[in-house]
Structure 1
Amino acid sequence: MSRRKLQNRLKLKKVEPVHGEQFNDLLRYVFQVTNSDLQTFGWENREIEKSKLPVLKHADVLGWFDGDKLISQLAVYPFQVNMFGRIYEMGGLTGVGTYPEYANMGLMNKLMLQALSHMRERKQSISYLYPYSIPYYRRKGWEIISNKISYEVRDTQLPKPKAVPGNVERVAIDHPHIRHIYERFALHNHGAMLRNDLAWEEYLRWDLDEMIAAIYYDGRDQPTGYLLYWVAEEVFHVKEMVHIDEEARIGLWNFISAHFSMITKVKGDIYKNEPLAFLLEDGDITETIAPYYMARIVDLPLFIEQYPFRPPGEDRKLVWKVDDPLLDWNQGTFVLTVNAAGEGKLVKGNQAASAVTTDIQTLTTMLMGYKRPSYLARIGRIQAEEEAIDLLEQLIRREKPYFSDYF
């Protein structure tokens, strides 16, 4: 059969719970998840299908069908993120995959365009994803916005215990204080996910049964930090350490150091621009940095309307020429006006010789604070007069995104 005839019989439609087994089979094939992998994590096929039902019920899942067979798909989760203290609706893109015999037919491009259109309708002005191919998603308008620093600390390098007024208690993994602490933390960390039930389920989905939770309670018995971890083969694995203040951070590291006789090293990840080495007396530890999540602005005018610029003290104006590889509503020339209080407005504007010229990828990483305007101009990702770059430096807050979730 010719590819043209094959394409003509394919249909794009919503993936429903009744397609759960096919949804799961396509994910397993594309991401090469074997039965052995599933057994390692204690999952059976039935359990995986059941675990994905909330996704198919609550997410926007789209797919191409060849007759009754699901052959290409993606899912968009309804999430929220903290953007410099403002809460944004975010579309979390995941479950992206196409069977190889249907590749190079433009199916995923059309799925993404449909998904982004749905995000715009739902006022999800930004989208996050974990990239299995950074170049591929860059071509679709996403850009890197966060890092992951992986560390390894030998037992002899563990910090010496310091006196703190509180104490650590080991608790059940679903203890309500864990969610309470994380919510407080997320509301004070730019870029962070505000985890709803679906987000928590995704975050903990593939964890081993041996996962343990520990909470730090301060001198007033208030929960101010927690640790999710497991110990295996003399290695203390930190999945997540969240602390509201420095006292809780010290208290949690005291708890880790108390395992000195049981372990040879501690391994974990940090999702902020704060290398661990500086905080340790023996800072000669192994740390590796890698790009983590990507994001793209879905609806540029709405994103700007919500965005908290640094108050310039007087009304300021810029002209942007923006290129978007997928979305025509983000494409063209815009006039950005920021009032004295830092409130922005973006409208389609005229051509201007002094415009800031860039693409949606670069605009996303700049407005999220991952890379500064002056740096992006220096490497050629922004073309603008020096005066315009200086103004952007004044308007955009200096805080890099934190994002520790995975979906």
Structure 2
Amino acid sequence: MEVICMSRQKLQERLKMKHVETKHGEQFNDLLRYVFQVTNHQLQTFGWENREIEQAKLPVLKQADVLGWFDGDKLISQLAVYPFQVNIFGQRYEMGGLTGVGTYPEYANLGLMNQLMRQALTNMRERKQSISYLYPYSIPYYRRKGWEIISDKISFEVKDTQLPKLKTVSGNVERMSIEHPDIKDVYQRFALQNHGAMLRNDLAWEENLRWDLDDLTAAVYYDGDHQPMGYLLYWIAGEVFHMKEMVFINQEARTGLWNFISAHFSMITHVKGHIYTDEPLAFLLEDGDIKETIAPYYMARIVDLSLFLEKYPFQPQETDCQLTFTLHDPMLEWNQGTFTLMVDEEGKGHLTGGGVNPAAAFDIQTLTTMLMGYKRPSYLARIERFRADEVTVNLLEKLIIRQQPYFSDYF
């Protein structure tokens, strides 16, 4: 046992953490493909439904903050952080998108990823990225690191006989290339209306479409004034209409896009797609006896609570409010301790360190999902995810806007 410990100690001593550069691109991709068990042949042949693990796992190294551990010249552990922005209750937030996480098994259990994450989160804080999103391949693992579920994905399957009947709308749908500028215009307006959504820069669009099929088509709905008000990204294969993304500014646009889908009645047997809001499709259909499944989608964690709360919009109140609480963060010391939150009548919050007689105790995971609106304070208190008296829970219910996050991207 002593010999084994000495061997591992020597191994750790020769490892170096440093930035992964473009010259390490081949090693970066080799590590990811090993960890996620993806072959070159699979990358060329698998279909959309089977590639969520593999999708968008070839990061653009020059645009991301990529950290890794090296054993000599060999890259053996890594993660990447993309510079993104998200809409949180109408406020534009800098967000660090964590992806590309992996370590070769022979270097496991050395605490390498824990150290990489601490450094990545420290770097996010320095870049004013007060929140981080990620797609979890192990929810328990990322919960232990401070992330928590903040969005769901509802997958649905509709038979051709269940498609909605055509309804009259003022506009029309036009098919076009997925590169058409009206698509980005519609999405930007949509994202600014939907809490939690990615405000897509060029990198976000590139990641969103990186592994799409060559025959992916766009259908854009234009209203009576020929203004783009919605779009649909889709492909048809094996008599199935696959909906990658439907975005609409208003109900008319949604109706117009479903009219377009229903017009494929003679060509298809099913429509398959996903919804990223808490709005099951069944209620909207005349024949709502459809197959829908719900699954957790993205996770998030607050990187710097003080910075996060600077722009966070609480609900306006009749008088100023104060809450003193303790916070636990498994990774970051600046999110540890006792804090006092002051919220003025306009809903502007200000956090200070310290305070006496804390009225609540949170971990960063629970506080993140609560402030993001995914789960309400009363529910989280009821399942004992945090401790607080009834008065404090009621105060939190009044302060936090009642709106669940929307997030449809993948990186």
TM-score in terms of structure 1 length: 0.96
The offset of 1:36, in angstroms, is: 2.0
1:202 to 207, 226, 249: 207
The offset of 1:41, in angstroms, is: 6.0
Separation in 2, partners of 1:315, 1:372:
21
Separation in 1, partners of 2:89, 2:10:
50
The offset of 1:350, in angstroms, is: 2.6
Q: Which amino acid aligns with 1:324?
A: D
Distance 1:52 1:104, change over 3 A: closer
1:198-235 deviation digits (Å, cap 9, x = unpaired): 00011011111111111000000000000000000000
The offset of 1:370, in angstroms, is: 0.3
TM-score in terms of structure 2 length: 0.95
Q: Which residue of 2 aligns with 1:390?
A: 394
Q: Is this contact kept in 2: 1:41–1:206, CA < 8 A?
A: no
Structure 1 unpaired stretches of 5+: 43-50
Q: Secondary structure at the match of 2:212?
A: coil
Q: Which residue of 2 aligns with 1:270?
A: 275
How many residues are aligned here? 398
* Aligned ranges 1:119-268 → 2 under 5 Å: 119-268=124-273
The offset of 1:32, in angstroms, is: 1.1
Q: Which residue of 2 aligns with 1:284?
A: 289
Q: Which residue of 2 aligns with 1:24?
A: 29
The offset of 1:165, in angstroms, is: 1.1
Q: Which amino acid aligns with 2:35?
A: V
Separation in 1, partners of 2:356, 2:41:
59
The offset of 1:130, in angstroms, is: 0.1
The offset of 1:53, in angstroms, is: 8.1
Q: Which residue of 2 aligns with 1:46?
A: none
1:336 to 341, 360, 374: 341
Q: Secondary structure at the match of 1:58?
A: coil
| 1:33 matches 2:38 | yes
1:280-331 deviation digits (Å, cap 9, x = unpaired): 0000000000000000000000111110000112110001100000000000
Distance 1:212 1:368, change over 3 A: same
| RMSD of aligned alpha carbons | 1.2
1:219-268 deviation digits (Å, cap 9, x = unpaired): 00000000000000000000000000000000000000010011000000
1:59 to 51, 56, 64: 64
The offset of 1:54, in angstroms, is: 6.7
Separation in 1, partners of 2:311, 2:31:
37
The offset of 1:52, in angstroms, is: 8.0
Q: Is this contact kept in 2: 1:225–1:244, CA < 8 A?
A: yes
Q: Is this contact kept in 2: 1:41–1:208, CA < 8 A?
A: no
Q: Secondary structure at the match of 1:333?
A: strand
Q: Is this contact kept in 1: 2:175–2:217, CA < 8 A?
A: yes
Q: Secondary structure at the match of 1:56?
A: coil
Separation in 2, partners of 1:398, 1:279:
22
Separation in 2, partners of 1:101, 1:306:
44
Q: Secondary structure at the match of 2:156?
A: strand
Q: Secondary structure at the match of 1:177?
A: helix
Q: Which residue of 1 aligns with 2:52?
A: none
Q: Which residue of 1 aligns with 2:109?
A: 104
| 1:319 matches 2:324 | yes
